[in-house]
Amino acid sequence: MSFTNDKASNGTYSLKYSSTNTYINPGLYSIETNYTISKVRSAVSNAGNYIIASSYEGIVLGVGYNGAILWKNQLSGFMNHDLWCEDITGDGIDEIFAANANGTLYCLNSLGEILWEFKATDAPPMYSVCVVTKNSIPYIVCGGFDKNVYYLNVDGSLKQTLEASTYSVNKTHRGVTAPPSNTHIANFVRKIKKSDGTDMLAILGTNNSMQVTGNIYLFDVLGSLITPSVKIESGKPIGGEMRIVNIDGNGTQKILLGTSTHVNDANVVQMNPFDLSEGQPNIDISSIRNKVGGAPGYRVTQPEVIPDGSGYQYFILHGPNILLVPSSMDLSQAEIITSGYSFNDMWKEPTTNKIILASAQSGGSSIHVIDINNVGWKEAFKNLSPPGKIQSILKNKAEVATSLTSFIKPAWERNPPLSVYLLHKNSRSTNTSLYNAPIYIPQPFMPTVQDGNSWNREAMANETYRNKRDKRRKYVLDEAEVLNLIKPNFDSKGIAYWGGHGNDPYFYGLETTKKVIDFAAGRKMVLIYPELEDHSSDFQFVMDDLVSPLASYGQNKNLNLFIRSKNIFWQGSIYLSEWSRLISGEFANVFVPTMEETSDKTMELSLAGRLGLWASGAVDSWGSRAVPDNMSFDRLRQHSDQQLDHPFLRQLIYVAASGAQYYDNFTKPDLFEELLATGVLFVPKRSEIVSFSPVHLSMITPDSHYLEEGSSVKWLTNFNQDFENNNPFVFSRMNGSWPGAPVNSWDFSNYAAGVKDRRLNFLPSYENGMVLITPPQTGIYTDTGAIRTPLKDNLHPPLYSDILKEYYTDGRNYYSSTGAQYTANQYYNTIKTDIEGSAAKIPLTVIGDVAWVVAQTSPKHLRLTIIDGGYINPDNRIAKVRFNTVKPSKMIDLLDGKNF
């Protein structure tokens, strides 16, 4: 159904019908909202039951089951991590509670009006909320990343604080840099009814989003711990869901827990809080991973129970699948219904057993309602094609594909194009004959690697790296077997394969790899090193023993070391002394900076860092990656099972238009390959880009806390209010405590990149031009032994010859060229003003929630690429182009011919 809504002065919206276009299938219907719906719940008003939804942008909506959008409230403009609906005033009408990423708990009435707000401190995100009752008095319980749980009165005032450190048994294991032990975040807070009808509070506490399952703590309301903590035995993190269910109809409530993991570890765990001797029976979805639909990857598992005749069955949402599992938990008897889409959330309406699904993860904008009492729901789910944005995405992609058939590359653009390397086979038979683009380099999967005994690994001087191993590899091959395995996988273009990993860089001995380089005989050879991010003193050994010797041996032999690092590596660890030879430009034609963006929330920084190294001449090329778990900015809620490839397509178009030449893609949008093959995508040289800001930020030796802050993304308990109050950083709020949180006003991400929160900023706006993060160029920090040429000599001549302005940082403070120090929250305005003023010195700038880049393709032509900035919440965006140093005579869309 389609509706128009007018905003009232109180921030809510009133409804006006504009049409009644109903989309219905037997047993399932869809409600179009025009928003990417992330969370869904059900509530009761004086008019009956209705749906509460929260969008990716944090807008809370009241939605009728008839499709009417009853009201909207934007709240803070930041995402909501949890919703709860319950009557706390005794009038039979539910209040709505939203745990917001800005650290606030909001209470709304059934009209969408804010009744009150609670915020303990300048806290990290509020993460979970529920309502409990004691002596007929309701209390709102909420908790988040400040490691506290709060009991609130019905007016929002604080009743009691429960500090995790007073009861937690969660441990850490990272030595001197470990976050504190014996504390946790409240992953979930939920109420459980005892047999006498009174409530108790269940807290799922955890301190790590990838390596810790978590513990259940049971409390009397406003009272003490009832039982010792119960460790969850699933082996993998519980983050998908924690539901309290009346599982067998006898009034006894049990806990259902769903994982947030790779499909290979997916599980549902059941726990009886009243009889722990029952153990933790589980539904091991990973045991049937070959039967569940969809690609391999990370998924959230959300369990429920529904009636099954006189008994019950488990209703489990897992990726694009609904699993109906009998009460025996026997998966061999399970029914699997597979859709074409995965969904952001699931909720069971308690009185009717209707299942409410949030939007499709592929950028959908609908809410889907399943009536499990209608026999047609299963077929409808299988055939679901969501209305709204999904249909727009499919239509737009088809139109672009059609336009490619008649596209003629402008005669004024450079030919041949730059070489672009895709590190996989040409599995779709893309026609590359027109421009020899793209170039496909095969990447075989090799689970067996070299046994250290065959190259005397035991003699390695560094104990840490002598003992490292990657558990996903079998170390069984001798040198001859390695060569016999790798050589047949070369084709005429070359080969790409993993040379090692952050878990162990030594998949092969140095001398063995040299023999492979010799065999390559000038063919392209790309050694991939994922997650190579160690910034401890041990890594100097790896540089001296492996990385630098490989770079030296492979120089001018068409070898590339594809460093697929994580977190803040390319604007942090790379500026430590062990990487000085890379920074100097000595191996510019060997190293390819790229990123493993999973778990990260700083994509706009890694982009500026890689571009800055490339622009400086430290490297001659750079790369990117597209993989479903790019979407995992919060590993406890890994909704990263996109069935459409458009987020990756837009990301790849943006980095290609910004000059990236190497791609290690797990998700391989066919349209991206066609755009390269037909010349629709123009991949520029660094000297052709004219959208770099004249202002750039140069990194000196990184501050140690900055390095820890930017790399500790899995640990969740690093928040310290006193430290935050007294230590403003240039780059901040990057560890695991800040998923979806607001970015400080003085943070580079905010004032330079236009980023407002720590989420999926693959497509940042940089409205005043891309602000590069570079090696120092002048002043006391300059590397006098650098081989690379000055930044101004690598950029567009003559545009950047005399307009560059350099600032310096260590990640914490700013510095002058002579070493004077300035604090981040005071000095940022100086740089911000300079960035804004300098924008007038480049040809044009673009304002709006879009990513953009400009390249000069001939003396009188500029290529402007503009991309919707909504990575997983696509929308029609308005982009305003401001012309500065050029006077355009014509502006044409090269693909469809439209004039502006």
Cα–Cα dist 884/163, whole Å: 55
Cα–Cα dist 405/821, whole Å: 57
Mean pLDDT in residue range 548-560: 97
Q: Is the pLDDT of residue 97 over 80?
A: yes
Alpha-helical regions (H) of 168-258: none
Which of 156, 150, 53, 78 lies closest to 114 in space, CA to CA?
Answer: 156
Alpha-helical regions (H) of 561-688: 580-583, 603-616, 646-657, 670-678
Q: Is the pLDDT of residue 612 over 90?
A: yes
pLDDT, residue 496, reads 98
**Binning pLDDT at 50, 70 and 90, where does residue 248 land?**
confident
Cα–Cα dist 55/34, whole Å: 10
**Binning pLDDT at 50, 70 and 90, where does residue 228 land?**
confident
pLDDT, residue 25, reads 64
Q: What is the mean pLDDT of the chain?
A: 94
* 702 touches 432 (CB < 8 A): no
Q: Is the pLDDT of residue 12 over 60?
A: no
* 824 touches 728 (CB < 8 A): yes
Any idea which of 288-292, 295-299, 832-836 has the lowest mean pLDDT? 295-299
Residues 6+ away with beta carbon under 8 Å from 32: 1, 2, 23, 67, 365, 366, 387, 388
Summarised one tens digit per residue, pLDDT across range 462-516 is: 999 999 999 999 999 999 999 999 999 999 999 999 999 999 999 999 999 999 9
pLDDT, residue 183, reads 96
Q: Is the pLDDT of residue 2 over 80?
A: no
**Binning pLDDT at 50, 70 and 90, where does residue 804 land?**
very high
Summarised one tens digit per residue, pLDDT across range 728-740 is: 999 999 999 999 9
pLDDT, residue 175, reads 53
Structure tokens at 612: 């800055």
* 573 touches 535 (CB < 8 A): yes
Cα–Cα dist 571/574, whole Å: 7
Mean pLDDT in residue range 880-891: 96
**Binning pLDDT at 50, 70 and 90, where does residue 171 land?**
confident
Cα–Cα dist 303/317, whole Å: 6
Mean pLDDT in residue range 701-730: 95
For strand 474-477 and strand 448-450, is the pairing parallel, antiparallel, or unpaired?
parallel
Q: Is the pLDDT of residue 355 over 70?
A: yes
Which of 105, 220, 101, 102 lies closest to 154 in space, CA to CA?
Answer: 105
Q: How many other CB atoms are there within 10 angstroms of residue 328's CB atom?
A: 10
Residues 6+ away with beta carbon under 8 Å from 889: none
Q: Name the β-bridge partners of 117.
A: 106
Cα–Cα dist 324/313, whole Å: 7
pLDDT, residue 4, reads 30
Structure tokens at 408: 């003629």
pLDDT, residue 711, reads 92
* 506 touches 500 (CB < 8 A): yes
Q: Sign (positive/negative) of CA torsion 868, 869, 870, 872?
A: positive
**Binning pLDDT at 50, 70 and 90, where does residue 234 land?**
confident
Residues 6+ away with beta carbon under 8 Å from 440: 421, 422, 424, 425, 426, 432, 493
Cα–Cα dist 513/570, whole Å: 26
Would you list the DSSP string of 854-895? Answer: EEEEETTEEEEEEEES-SSS------EEEESS---S--B-TT
Cα–Cα dist 361/631, whole Å: 10
Q: Catalogue the E-assigned strands of 207-237.
A: 215-220, 230-231
* 734 touches 601 (CB < 8 A): yes
Q: How close are the terminal C-alpha atoms of the chain, in Å?
A: 33
Q: What is the dihedral of CA 217, 161, 241, 108, to 10 degrees?
A: 150
Q: Is the pLDDT of residue 173 over 90?
A: no
**Binning pLDDT at 50, 70 and 90, where does residue 294 land?**
confident
* 3 touches 16 (CB < 8 A): yes
**Largest separation between any pair of C-alpha atoms in the chain:** 82
Per-residue CA distances from 144 to 51, 141, 151, 738, 899 (Å): 25, 11, 13, 10, 50
* 712 touches 688 (CB < 8 A): no
* 240 touches 260 (CB < 8 A): yes
**Binning pLDDT at 50, 70 and 90, where does residue 295 land?**
confident
Q: Is the pLDDT of residue 714 over 70?
A: yes
Q: Is the pLDDT of residue 1 over 50?
A: no
* 260 touches 237 (CB < 8 A): yes
- Say how many residues make up the chain: 900
3-state secondary structure 579-591: HHHHHCCCCCCCE
Whole-number percent of the chain with pLDDT over 70? 97
**Binning pLDDT at 50, 70 and 90, where does residue 212 land?**
confident
Structure tokens at 168: 């937690």
Q: Sign (positive/negative) of CA torsion 534, 540, 545, 547?
A: positive
pLDDT, residue 785, reads 83
pLDDT, residue 124, reads 95
pLDDT, residue 681, reads 97
Phi, psi for residue 731 in degrees, rounded to 5:
-120, 120
Summarised one tens digit per residue, pLDDT across range 653-710 is: 999 999 999 999 999 999 999 999 999 999 999 999 999 999 999 999 999 999 999 9
Cα–Cα dist 637/641, whole Å: 12
Summarised one tens digit per residue, pLDDT across range 358-410 is: 999 999 999 999 999 999 999 999 999 999 999 999 999 999 999 999 999 99
Of the spans 175-189, 291-305, 445-459, which averages the highest pLDDT? Answer: 445-459
Which of 352, 378, 355, 379 lies closest to 368 in space, CA to CA?
Answer: 355
* 873 touches 34 (CB < 8 A): no
Q: Name the β-bridge partners of 562.
A: 528, 592
Mean pLDDT in residue range 325-341: 97
Q: Is the pLDDT of residue 855 over 70?
A: yes
**Binning pLDDT at 50, 70 and 90, where does residue 112 land?**
very high
Structure tokens at 847: 């304002």
DSSP secondary structure letter of residue 334: -
**Binning pLDDT at 50, 70 and 90, where does residue 23 land?**
very low
Summarised one tens digit per residue, pLDDT across range 699-712 is: 999 999 999 999 99
For the chain, what is the total number of helices (H) and then of strands (E)?
16, 50
Per-residue CA distances from 324 to 317, 338, 374 (Å): 9, 11, 15
pLDDT, residue 378, reads 97
Whole-number percent of the chain with pLDDT over 90? 90
**Binning pLDDT at 50, 70 and 90, where does residue 8 land?**
very low
* 391 burial level (CB within 10 Å; 0-12, 13-18, 19+): middle
pLDDT, residue 239, reads 85
Cα–Cα dist 613/742, whole Å: 28
Cα–Cα dist 642/648, whole Å: 10
Mean pLDDT in residue range 193-199: 92
**What global pTM score does this model have?**
0.95
**Binning pLDDT at 50, 70 and 90, where does residue 5 land?**
very low
pLDDT, residue 16, reads 31
Higher pLDDT: 124 or 21? It is 124
Which of 261, 298, 511, 356 lies closest to 30 in space, CA to CA?
Answer: 356
**Binning pLDDT at 50, 70 and 90, where does residue 327 land?**
very high
Mean pLDDT in residue range 577-584: 97
Q: Is the pLDDT of residue 245 over 90?
A: yes
